[in-house]
Each structure stands twice: as structure tokens, then as C-alpha cells.
A and B are shown apart, each in its own frame.
Chain A
């Protein structure tokens, strides 16, 4: 419908961007995810504490609130939290923390705090937020060993989020390669690959994952477990993508512009790299974006069940393992906070994927 003259000089990438910009939710989700990945990349700096540091003064302590006005009614530019005072309930013997207005712990930005090894490259001690030594800051509370949940969520983001990305990258390679072969070669090989995919997809995923991850040796290093979990997850996930790629290949192979290239005498390699792959790159990116939350959820599920990543590795799934019983929900609900982050990230990826999908189809309904 639109006047084609107005589209002059716009590349299809630019058009896609123009269309994507109209999806406000997708745009916000994209921004949110970039923000999270940024924090995860520099988690040592953003987290106030090491993930395994224990605060003996705070076991199962609730989140602290940030204040600007003290109990005298005076306003402070520097935000502060109140320290805990511990009482033991004489009837139930439960430790109860109350926030004690007598102890104010000021929050400092870009100040020196705990020493840490940044990316295992050099040691540093500046943190985005921290308190003076001897004082403490637990914005999301602490767990049964007195470890800071806020710091652990930030460290867990690094593992959980990167696992999604690397896993999907591996899925992509497998899916595009195998699906591409099936779609382009066709015939007997296509038939064989199709049947293998059907068999793989018919196996219930969770038991299969559990069986495979149970086979990962206990004595492997955390990094080894991390990569074996990625491989296990990708092993199932590629089948869906391979099907998509195969379908697109089959459809595109008959497109006029591909036939035209063949009649020009273009080699198979040229047809695949110059004509076929660019034509469904956007499709692949969209599918991949929508596959990332699946990866993250799968990791969370496995770790929650205790067959995925294991302590001392910190991932959101590992953190949620602590929230397995009813007592937690009643007495220490802040241990469920990692779950909120899982939900937010999954929703954000889905919204982003939807936006990308709508934007990436520039020729759907173009002709009047």
C-alpha cells in the first residue's frame, strides 16, 4: 500500500529496525535484557559481596529497606539501611530479626569493599555499592548460611544467562547444519534426518535430561559440569530448529530468485551462502531468541532438582534449590527472589522474540 518511493535507500535491515521500534514492549524487554547481561558480565563489581561470603550476624535475615530519613526525622543524601537486632521467639525458637533504628549502615557507591578477582585477571576492591567495613547490606536478605541473596542472584545471573546464550549458539550450529543438509540435499538423507528428529522429540525431555546429567561424573570441575549441561540441553533443543531450517530451505529452494541464481550458473556454495542463508537469517535469530528462555528454564529445572549445576557454582536454579520446602515460603519468602528473575528474563526474551518476528518479515503483506 505504501508508496515505494518513500522506501528508497532503506536496506531491509533498516526497515526491520523501523518496524521493531514500534513494538514498545519488545524494545523495553531488549533494553532490560541488555542491562541484565551487562550486570552479569561485571558481576564482581556490581555485587556487594562474594557469593560464598557468610555474615554470621545474619542467618535467614529478611531484606533490608533503604532509607533516606532517620528516626529523628532528619534527611540524609546518602541512603542507609538499618542493622539487624536478633531476638529468639521463646515459643517457637525461631530466630526473628528486626531492623534496629539505632544501627545505621550507610551505603557507598564506587567505594572500596571486599577484595575480588575480576574475571580472574586482576584483583580489585571497588564495588558499585558497598558499606563501611563491619557494617553490612542485605537488600534481598540472606540464606541459611548468612550469604547475601542479592550478590548471589547477580553471580547466578552470569551462569544462568550465559548458559542460555552458549546453549542456543550450540543449538543453532547443530540445527542449521543438520536442517540445512536435510533441506538442501533432500531425498534419502532428508528422510533419515527427519526420522531421527522424530525419535529424539518423542523422548520425554525431563527424564532424558536427568538421566544424562546423572551420568556426568561427580568429580568433574564446575566448569566441566557447566559445559556438559549445555551440551545435554542442546542435544534435544536442536531438533526444533533443524525442522524450521529444513522447511525454510525447502521453500526457498523453489523461489524464483534462487532458480535465477541456478540458471546463472552459480555454484551450490554460492547459492547457499549468498541467497539462502541471508534470506532466513532473521528467521533464525527470531527462533534463537525464543529458544533462549527454554534453555534457561531447563537449567533452572535441572539444578532445582539437584541434577544440574551443583554448589559451589551459583546459578538461579541452584539458588532456588533452597526454596524447595514449604517452610521457606512461609518463613523466608525472599529465598524465592531468584525465581522472580527467572520469570522476568523468560518473559522479556519472549516479548523480544515476538517483536523480532513481527519486524523481520518485511515482505509479508507488502503487495497491495
Chain B
């Protein structure tokens, strides 16, 4: 039996191209995500890799309906049954947002600089569990401990923290409502390598403790290789290859995947980088 928490079918996102003027009008559209289908198994991690402009961030933001998709379906197994996220109104989505959360790339931009850590982490509780307001403080302290922050961080502002600590605050905010699906949008890309390792380890631990499902968007193939079981490779809005990570990394089938893999520098000075020539490949 397969237990897929999310099934995405024929999913497309389009942006209107507007002509500026006295009265702006639409002159065309740009397809950022083109007819993408995939599914994610509960408790697993799916990596989405691709270069900038490949549409990977747009795809996940549209699944969470931060952007409205143009067509397709995204069926999410919520606590109360299967729902197509593309069909719901913004209002009907609100209760579901407890179950799907996002961790952002930039730990500086994703926390409101004018709110204290306690307010940032408790905001999901204030929105979704206002009736339990007496327990909020305790829940926040508990969550901060789980992500490795001391309780004395509560009354500080984000600027008092390093990038890695801020990312932990962002993780605490995303996980405090006990979601089942967590989307990590380049969640470790902005971090130093040592801090990146800490955060990746933390995400693995939390996945086991809380039975989380991750969709892990990254441009760093090594990170996806390390972190995920399944992966999608995106190029110009389309998925060019998908499957188990090991298979993609050891025997890539698509030329674009081969190009990406050949460009990864090795840590060994004696293994010289010899990237494939982009022009000699049939990428479309």
C-alpha cells in the first residue's frame, strides 16, 4: 500500500506578461511550471533540484497557494481526508495551513525584524489555537528546546542571532503546529557549511520524532543527495527526470542531469572538474 501525502498532477503555473502604460493590459503569459506531476510518500523526503529559473520555488509556493496555479491538481491527505489544494478558496485553506508549513531560504528576511522570538514562534498558535493561549508560552519554550535554542531567547529580536540560529527559529515557527508536510525552500543554502550541517542534522532528527514529510528544494545537489530518498530534476519549468536519489546520481538518464552532476566540484584536489559542454547536449 502506498501512503502518499501529496499527489500533484499536471500542475502548471503561469504568470501574465503585462504591458505597462496608462491602462496596463495583458499581452501574453510566461509558463513558470509546466505540467508537473509527482507524489510524495508520508515520512519521506523528496528533493527538487534545478538551476535558478527552473521553476522549483514557484512550484512549491504554488502548491501552498502562495501563488495561484493555472491548472492541475495537488491532492493533500489532510487529517480529515483528501483535498485538492487547487480547488479550495483562500478561506477554506486556512485550517489546512496548520498541516503544511514552509521553511524559507533567507533567515534574515523570513523573520519579522520587529517581533520578538516569542511572538514569532507563537504566531501560528495565536492564529490557529487562540483558545489555548495559556499554554502558548510553554509550547513555545518546548519547541525552542527541540530546535536547540535556550528559553532565554524568547525576549530577543531576530537581529540578535546568527544565521543558523535564525533558521532554527524559522523551523520552530514552522513545526509548532505539528504539521505533516514541510516544504524547505533552499532552507540551508544561505548558511555556512558548518551551520548547514547542524541544521540538516536537526531536520533529520525532527523528521523521525514528528513523522514529518519534507519537500526539499535546493540547488546544491550534494545536499539533496545527502538528505533525500527521492528527487525531481527540473529544467525550464518541467521535470526532466525523477526517481530514487541513488539512481539519479549514479545513472542519470537525462542529459541535463548529467550536465548538473558533471559540474559538481569534488572535495578531492586530484579529481579535476570536467563539466560537460552544454551546447553538445540535447536539452529540450
Contact = CB atoms under 8 A, between A and B. Distances in A.
A adjacent to B, CB under 8 Å: yes
Contacts of A274: 112, 115, 123
A260 interface: yes
A207 B114 CA distance: 43
A283 B102 CA distance: 29
A158 to B, nearest CB: 36
Given A9-B156, A259-B66, A265 B127 contact: yes
A256 interface: yes
B157 A4 contact: no
Contacts of A11: 157
A275 interface: yes
Interface stretch (B70-78, B135-143, B158-166, B262-270): B158-166
Main secondary structure of the interface of A (DSSP, over half): helix
Contacts of A278: 112, 114
A101 B58 CA distance: 87
Interface string B1-42: 000000000000000000000111000000000000000000
B161 A4 contact: yes
Interface stretch (B90-98, B195-203, B227-235): B90-98
Interface stretch (B103-111, B240-248, B250-258, B274-282): B103-111
A219 interface: no
A264 B97 CA distance: 6
A263 B99 CA distance: 11
A265 B97 contact: yes
A10 B6 CA distance: 43
B225 to A, nearest CB: 26
Nearest to B64: A263
B114 A12 contact: yes
Contacts, number: 86
A110 interface: no
A125 interface: no
Interface residues of B, number: 37
A122 interface: no
A279 B111 CA distance: 12
A274 B124 CA distance: 13
A94 B105 CA distance: 80
Nearest to B124: A264
Contacts of A256: 104-106, 109-110
A122 B67 CA distance: 64
Contacts of B24: 191
Interface of A: 4-5, 7-12, 15, 191, 195, 255-257, 259-267, 270, 274-275, 278-279, 362-363, 366-367
6 contacts: A8-B156, A9-B155, A11-B157, A259-B104, A267-B127, A279-B114
Given A5-B160, A257-B112, A263-B102, 18 more contacts: A8-B156, A10-B157, A15-B159, A195-B22, A256-B105, A256-B109, A256-B110, A257-B109, A257-B111, A257-B113, A259-B61, A261-B112, A263-B101, A265-B98, A265-B127, A266-B123, A362-B159, A363-B108
